[in-house]
Structure 1
């Protein structure tokens, strides 16, 4: 038996008037997921423990079978694992976003955040900007590391572990109420803005109609994580397929392998087919028992507030990834179980994460069911099946019983 998780980050949403009460998931044309839903168990699962912030960090840990209340030490340290940062116990790691501020003729505190991702800036452009800023921000206690696209890391030796606001929660707002109170971090953000708004690369981006990456934004602090080996817990050899450092970091902490897929970038136009092929190959040719395929695009489109692009990202996920995984595994003759779900909702209306239960679909090729379900939030809720703890889903996928 082979096992697959396909996770559409932020795919769940709220009913919308513009969609006649539907959601992007219910309105998207998803023939493969709907076919699977007719042969599967569908229900809802709570991935965020009560009292914890709804983020892809806590939610994906949960789906991966790790209780965030026990294992979560912060988002950024997981990302730092992915890019090979050798963390000490005394280090505090922050996410360093490259964001787009308005560049109004007002003090830094009065600027507004237009884009938390700087137009999904390429890693190559981001690396140039990070290098040039960090030459000016050198500090014997602070080190910067290039991640992926707009997502980077600051490691602060013997630093302060401060709770800071994610930039996607501040979109269109004045930044003054959300800035670090720590003088050093605040100074770094302000200095980065002065350097980046005049940077030749950002001038070029604006000429091309692209959002400039004109400020650092620190958030997601945490300390060195300690995860138990996935294989030791579940006795399955697993592989992670994701474009984002957070998921690759979780995999590194769990001692799982990763597959780097060319053209996979965490955006709407990521390489869906390449991810599908990598998963099928890992499961049918390379001896893996389990593949976790993570797609960031629905979450990014939710943050952008775009109903149309979120629907498109879900349709791409269905036809360009899930369909190919199903066809590949069916052709191989392997028995398999496939779990499809989001990690959390990212409603277009609020453009950020919420901690509500998400719909799941669990398909078993050896025991297909027959009913009229479709895969969406409403029908998953109407099924009456509710899983209280997201971290129970992994052992359920592997054939165990829910607690």
Structure 2
């Protein structure tokens, strides 16, 4: 038996005015998804418990079969693991976005323009992170380059009054708003606010940003820290589900979860973490993994989520269509040619509506296809409303893989 998950990050949405009040999933031409959904277990699932923030770390842990109430300890340590950074028990990892703030106002009156600094290239960002580490790094605090705008700061025994550092605001949650009320507060907040201000003073005049401004691009003129956490411990996939797994993603967070779960992280050249990623390369990597003997492959595609954050409904539609034709179709064709049993789960981790440009905790649509046990789901297409109409809702999303994909009593 082969098992495949295609995780379409942030794919589900709300009706969008410019799409004739349809969702991107409803607008997208995705014949393979729609056809499989008609013959699958189809419904909705809750990936983010009410008491947790709807972060991709929490939601992807749930989809991968790990109870987020137990294992969700912040995304940053997972990203650090993916980057090959060793963390001691005293270390706290922070996600360190390079962001675009408005330029004219006093610092605390500035507006969060873009949480991704125009999806800055990794090469440009590396120069900025190196400059920050040289100026702001200490014996106990260092900055590390990740991918695009997504980086990491590790601080040993950081200032953490009442663990307030674990509740820092997420920059994609207040796009277009002033940063004043979103900056760290309290006694230790002064230390972190000063770090933000000093980063702005360094980055705003850095040659990389001066060149970006001259080219009409958004500067990465400040850092923003969030989702702090300590080193996690996950049971391995083989231990938990009895299968040998591989993970394919351009995003350090997802690779980090895979590494912690003892899954093989597979690098794909040209995988960018946006809607222009190397879709075909990811499909080929999954096929190669199956041929190498891996029973379970988890493919994560960030494109729909980034389009949601940027408010780009048309691009989100394109991302969904390309996932259908360039990822799902070739892998299904390969699996069919092998003549063996397989199951495919397709779902988002959380909605990222283009209207609000951030994550929500609404239940997400899913379908689980079993080529040995096709069932009439009574859905016409794979959309949010069609999935909801089935009446099936997996209230504990982390149980879906264990109980239904792997038929595992401990799932």
Please indicate the TM-score interval, normalised by the length of the shorter structure.
over 0.9
Deviations 1:161-216 (A, max 9, x none): 41101100120111111112322221121111111111111111122222111111
CA distance in 1, matches of 2:409, 2:138: 52
Moved more, 126-135 or 366-375: 366-375
Question: How is 1:295-374 mapped onto 2 (pairs within 5 angstroms)?
Answer: 295-370=301-376, 371-374=378-381
Q: Provide TM-score, normalisation by structure 1.
A: 0.97
> Residue 225 in 1 paired to residue 232 in 2?
yes
Which residue of 1 is the match for residue 407 of structure 2? 399
Q: Which residue of 1 aligns with 2:119?
A: 120
- Give the 3 Å change call, closer, same or farther, for CA 324–107 of structure 1 in structure 2: same
Alpha-carbon shift at residue 138 of structure 1 (Å): 2.5
Question: What is the alpha-carbon root mean square deviation over aligned residues?
Answer: 1.4
Partner of 2:30: 30
Given that 1:42 and 1:362 are in contact with CA atoms closer than 8 Å, whether structure 2 keeps it comes out as yes
Rounded to whole Å, the distance in 1 between the matches of 2:213 and 2:325 is 34
| Aligned residue pairs, count | 401
What is the rounded CA distance, in whole Å, between the counterparts of 1:360 and 1:400 in structure 2?
A: 19
Contact kept in structure 2, 1:5 and 1:339, CA below 8 Å: yes
The aligned runs of 1:189-338 (5 Å cut-off) are: 189-283=196-290, 285-338=291-344
Deviation at 1:372, TM superposition (A): 4.9
Describe the superposition over 1:118-155 as per-residue Cα deviations: whole angstroms up to 9, x where unpaired.
11111111111111122111222211111111111111
**Aligned mates of 1:119, 1:315 — CA distance in 2:** 23
5+ long unaligned stretches in structure 1:
none
CA contact (8 A) 1:3 1:337 kept: yes
C-alpha contact 2:379 2:386 (8 A) present in aligned 1? no
The 1:42–1:206 alpha-carbon spacing in structure 2 relative to 1, beyond 3 Å, is same
Cα distance in 2 for residues equivalent to 1:367 and 1:274: 29
The equivalent of 2:78 in structure 1 is: 78
CA-to-partner distance for each residue in 1:68-101, whole Å, 9 max, x for gaps?
A: 1111111111111111111111111111001011
For residues 386 and 202 of structure 2, the distance between their equivalents in structure 1, rounded to whole angstroms, comes to: 51
1:234-283 deviation per Cα after TM superposition (whole angstroms, max 9, x unaligned): 00000000000000110111111110000001011101100011111111
Shift of 1:289: 0.5
CA–CA distance in 2 between the matches of 1:270 and 1:314? Answer: 12
SS in 1 for 2:398: helix
CA distance in structure 1 between the partners assigned to 2:97 and 2:212 by the alignment: 17
Deviation of 1:369 (Å): 3.1
> 1:16·1:23 contact (CA, 8 Å) conserved in 2?
yes
- State the SS of the aligned residue for 1:121: coil
Contact 1:301/1:309 (8 A) holds in 2:
yes
Per the alignment, in what secondary structure is the counterpart of residue 380 of structure 2? coil
Task: Judge conservation of contact 1:393–1:402 (CA < 8 Å) in 2.
Answer: no
Q: Deviations over 1:281-307 (max 9, x none)?
A: 111x10001000000010000000111
Stretches of 4+ aligned residues off by more than 6 angstroms: none
In the alignment, the residues of structure 1 paired with residue 194 and residue 142 of structure 2 have an alpha-carbon distance, to the nearest angstrom, of 15
CA apart distance, 1:400:
4.7
Counterpart residue number, 2:391 = 384
TM-score, L = length of structure 2: 0.95
Runs (5+) with no aligned partner, structure 2: none
Out of 175, 195, 201, the residue aligned to residue 188 of structure 1 is 195
Q: Name the CA distance, whole Å, in 2 between partners of 1:400 and 1:337.
A: 14
Deviating more after overlay: 151-160 vs 206-215? 206-215
CA 1:103–1:384 in 2, change beyond 3 Å: closer, same or farther?
A: same
Paired residue secondary structure (1:217): strand
Tell me whether 250-259 or 369-378 shows the greater mean CA deviation.
369-378
Q: CA deviation at 1:399?
A: 3.1
Tell me, yes or no, if the aligned pair for 2:241 and 2:408 is still in contact at 8 Å.
no
Q: Secondary structure at the residue paired with 2:250?
A: coil
Q: Distance in 1 between matches of 2:215 and 2:330?
A: 35
